[in-house]
Amino acid sequence: MTQQLDSMAELLNAQQQDHIKHRLVSADQRRKRLQQVIDVVVAHHQEFVEAMELDFAGRSQGFSVMNDILGSLASLKYARDHLDSWMVSDNRQVFSPYDQLGSTARIEYQAKGSVGIIGTWNAPLYTLLSPLACVLAAGNRAILKPSEVTSKTADVLASVFAKELDPLIVGVVNGGVKVGVEFSHLPFDHLIFTGSSAVGKKIMQAAAQNLVPVTLELGGKSPVVISDSCDLEETCKRIAIAKSNNGGQLCISPDIIYVPKHNIEQAASLILETYKSLFPKITNNADVVPIVNQAHCQRVVDVIKQAQDSGCDVRASHSVADLQACVSQDKRLPLHLVIAPAKSTRIMQEEIFGPAAVLQPYDDISDVIDDINQRDKPLALYYFGENQAELDNVLVNTSSGGVSINDCLIHAAMHDAPFGGVGASGMGHYHGHEGFKALSHARTVFVAPEHDPRAEWGLLPPHHDQFKAMMVAQVCAD
């Protein structure tokens, strides 16, 4: 373990020293680095998806291609194809009268150095390579720390990257919790973490010891607001599709669904019927993504059972003889809807991260807004409806990392828009131009005029008797 930790620190130091020697990274060099990663993903995609299938004990290879392989490639290719325009210096207006004396000013986007990226298990490739796209586009180097929960995927990543990429540009460090702790304490030039809010706080504390800036992509209980003005059948179909994605193991998966009280029965039926049409059976169904391991599966089952034991109305998409038995079998669970649970229940307190959701009835949209605002700010918010005034009310009076209207999850797939959280759901961004900026140092460059007029203006010492009066004369509200 000591040797591994020493080599991790040595790799970071080697990257940072090489960055100092080669600070200027041209657009062509950045494109080449991005293309090298793209080529590795393309060449080894089958190895990656086979590893993910093993890590989840049954995750569909087709889903892993769609979610992790194509998702990563899309981020990498978008950065490759747009970095020229992102790298252009941004001219800024010089204050008067220096603007009339020939001064200029610009913002140059300078690479920071070496960036640490800590990925998570639910999208074990995407949560590393999507931020890596912005890291490399900004001219940085990176060290990746995959999740130990998906250890087989992590091993494949480390193996193929070591063979085909220069570790001074992109390195991979594997290991368990202790390695992750040491990794977060290293003096990176920037640190990116995707995971839970609880761990995100620890990452930020560790990074603060070296004043390392952080990008935290966390989670929370992302709400769905169903308006009376929506097409309820289509709305429920899209919510069910969203809950089916990755077995509900997404940081932006719908958690609490607010439904007009008179529609609660119909909404519950429609969501469950759609889910069952997507998955005619649950057990041994290759299209159902299993919960990643027994511990996480047990946690989801415990949350559902605690709601049942507390007297909640709990409904399932499929009848299962023994929900507990699913934990030790194939870890595939039906979708469970918990209707109007008390605030004290676990399902109202914790991010679910699995195939379950709360249906919360409401009479007035103001009650929905108040309830959302009593919780930590979520990573995503969803609204279904055609009432523009009501939508504006929800958007103006709530805060979330991002929003999708009349669908779920889709905003996070936008490459030309930032993805990130706010408050407890995270800070900073990646994706697109904003991701490039977040991982660059915005450096102001001011070019002074040839003639310095400050002595003529009476601004240099020794100051004359009227200096203060001259200054005070400019104190005005215009």
Catalytic pick from 53, 134, 182, 217? 217
The residue type at 176 = G
CA–CA distance, 474 with 454 (Å, rounded to integer)? 16
Name the helix (H) or strand (E) containing 247: none
Find the angle CA(173)-CA(175)-CA(181) to the nearest 5 degrees.
90
Q: Would you state the structure tokens that stand for residue 224, as one six-digit string?
A: 């769905």
CA–CA distance, 197 with 218 (Å, rounded to integer)? 5
SS3 for 474? coil
Q: Would you state the structure tokens that stand for residue 359, as one six-digit string?
A: 């249906």
Largest Cα–Cα distance of the chain, in whole Å? 93
Torsion from C-alpha of 404, 356, 197, 365, nearest 10 degrees: 50
Contacts of 41 by beta carbon, 8 Å cutoff, 6+ apart: 48, 69, 72, 73, 76, 125, 129
As to burial, measured by CB atoms within 10 angstroms (0-12 exposed, 13-18 middle, 19+ buried), residue 10 is exposed
The residue type at 97 = P
Q: Would you state the structure tokens that stand for residue 200, as one six-digit string?
A: 């995100």
Of the candidates 186, 209, 235, 264, which has an alpha carbon nearest to the alpha carbon of residue 14?
186
CA–CA distance, 118 with 71 (Å, rounded to integer)? 17
CA–CA distance, 298 with 307 (Å, rounded to integer)? 14
SS3 per-residue string spanning 111-176: ECCEEEEECCCCCCCHHHHHHHHHHHHCCCEEEEECCCCCHHHHHHHHHHHHHHCCCCCEEECCCC
Catalytic pick from 134, 230, 251, 312? 251
CB 453 within 8 A of CB 447: no
DSSP assigned state of 313: E
53 is catalytic: no
251 is catalytic: yes
Of the candidates 433, 9, 440, 428, which has an alpha carbon nearest to the alpha carbon of residue 192?
428
Of the candidates 361, 317, 352, 350, which has an alpha carbon nearest to the alpha carbon of residue 336?
317
Instruction: Give the residue numbers marked as catalytic.
Output: 217, 251
